Amino acid sequence: MAWFDGAKPIRVEGGIKARTLRRSIGSTWWSRRFIDILERVCDKGRLSRGRAYARQGQVLSIDLAAGEVRAAVQGSRRLPYEVVIRIEAYGESRWAAVEESIAAQAVHRAKLLAGEMPAEIEEVFAALGIDLFPRDLDMDCSCPDWGFPCKHLSAVLYLLAESFDDDPFLVLAWRGRTREQLLGSLAEDTTADAAANALRVDDVPFADRLADFYAPGATAHRPERRPSAAAPDLLLRVFPPPAGLAGTLEPAYRRLGDA
pLDDT tens by residue, 145-190:
877 789 999 999 999 999 999 999 999 999 999 999 999 988 875 5
The per-residue pLDDT for range 14-60, each reduced to its tens digit, is 999 998 777 778 888 899 999 988 888 788 888 889 999 999 999 99
75 lies in some domain? yes
Same domain, 173 and 93: yes
**Backbone dihedral region of 12: left (phi > 0), alpha (psi from -120 to 50 degrees) or beta?**
beta
203 lies in some domain? no
* Number of domains within the chain: 2
Could you give the CA distance from residue 12 to residue 74 in angstroms, rounded to a whole number? 7
Query: pLDDT tier at 1 (50, 70, 90 boundaries)?
Result: very low
163 lies in some domain? yes
165 lies in some domain? yes
Query: pLDDT tier at 100 (50, 70, 90 boundaries)?
Result: very high
pLDDT at 188: 78
The whole-number average pLDDT for the span 127-140 is 92
Q: Where among 179, 194, 209 does a domain terminate?
A: 194
60 lies in some domain? yes
Same domain, 159 and 248: no
pLDDT at 61: 97
Same domain, 93 and 172: yes
pLDDT at 158: 94
The answer to whether 202 and 220 have CB atoms below 8 angstroms apart is yes
Q: Where among 194, 217, 242 does a domain terminate?
A: 194
What end-to-end distance do the CA atoms of the chain give, in Å? Answer: 108
Res. 198: pLDDT tops 60: no
Same domain, 189 and 231: no
Which long-range contacts (C-beta less than 8 Å, at least 24 apart) are formed by 219-228?
Answer: none
Same domain, 98 and 179: yes
The answer to whether 44 and 51 have CB atoms below 8 angstroms apart is no
Same domain, 173 and 231: no
Same domain, 233 and 114: no
Res. 79: pLDDT tops 90: yes
pLDDT at 230: 47
Same domain, 33 and 131: yes
Same domain, 186 and 241: no
17 lies in some domain? no
pLDDT at 181: 92
Q: Which residues constitute the domain of residue 39?
A: 29-194
Q: Note the maximum CA span of the chain.
A: 127
Same domain, 150 and 45: yes
- What amino acid occupies position 10? I
199 lies in some domain? no
Q: Mean pLDDT across the chain, nearest whole number?
A: 80
pLDDT at 172: 95
pLDDT at 214: 45
Same domain, 233 and 141: no
201 lies in some domain? no
Higher pLDDT, 43 or 2: 43
Q: Where among 142, 171, 194 does a domain terminate?
A: 194
Same domain, 137 and 255: no
